[in-house]
């Protein structure tokens, strides 16, 4: 009989613990660890579908538009091929005004790490400036990130053109856009698009 009472009290205590502070909070609310709510925000995005829709649109962007441009050695100048690719990227971006993008700058492995970080930054900035000149709002382009020489396509210390690049990626949705506020992610992601006639 005493064992039964202990068991009932234990179950009741666990039930009360579950109803304590945070019982109705998003999954991961207590895992912040100084990240200013990033774990909570990540879980919210997963649960409301935003993360999956952003991933789907990123896949679509990579399938329909070239995401990478290349550069001459020790240069951040855009050649004709790079401008053509960025023009196509800008058309896609104008067709999806609810979406944000990030541009990552890369270099080859020649030169110091500090020099390459600066060069990668200049390359990313050159790509962003061109996209802005094509009618894309600068506010939709995430803060530039230079990865310098840390992620080569070809692992060589030689002057490898494929490593000298910028890569453009979908980074999420514009938070205050009406369609995003209404949760219309599917309508955004699956909107018809043709590279020849896209416009805002």
Looking at 3.90.1150.10, 3.30.1330.60, 3.40.190.10, 3.10.400.10, the CATH number of the domain 41-189 comes to 3.30.1330.60
pTM above 0.85, yes or no: no
pLDDT tens digits, residue range 116-164?
A: 999 999 999 999 999 999 999 999 997 576 777 788 887 677 788 888 9
Domain boundaries, the chain: 41-189
The SS3 assignment for 100 reads: strand
**Beta strands in the chain, from DSSP E residues, in sequence order:** 68-70, 99-106, 145-148, 165-173
Cα–Cα distance for residue pair 8/46, rounded to 1 Å: 37
pLDDT tens digits, residue range 69-116?
A: 999 999 999 999 999 999 999 999 999 888 999 999 999 888 888 999
């Amino acid at each position: 009989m005493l064992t039964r009472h202990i068991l009932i009290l234990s179950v009741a205590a666990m039930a009360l613990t579950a109803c304590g502070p945070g019982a109705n909070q998003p999954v991961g609310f207590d895992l912040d660890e100084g990240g200013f709510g990033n774990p909570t925000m990540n879980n919210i995005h997963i649960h409301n579908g935003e993360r999956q829709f952003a991933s789907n649109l990123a896949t679509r962007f990579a399938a329909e538009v070239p995401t990478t441009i290349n550069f001459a050695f020790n240069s951040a100048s855009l050649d004709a091929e790079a401008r053509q690719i960025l023009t196509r990227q800008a058309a896609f971006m104008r067709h999806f005004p609810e979406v944000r993008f990030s541009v990552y700058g890369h270099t080859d492995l020649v030169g110091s790490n500090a020099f390459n970080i600066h060069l990668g930054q200049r390359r990313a900035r050159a790509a962003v400036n061109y996209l802005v000149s094509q009618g894309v709002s600068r506010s939709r382009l995430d803060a530039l990130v230079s990865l310098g020489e840390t992620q080569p396509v070809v692992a060589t210390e030689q002057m490898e053109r494929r490593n000298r690049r910028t890569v453009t990626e979908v980074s999420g949705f514009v938070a205050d856009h009406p369609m995003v506020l209404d949760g219309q992610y599917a309508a955004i992601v699956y909107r018809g698009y043709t590279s020849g006639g896209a416009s805002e």
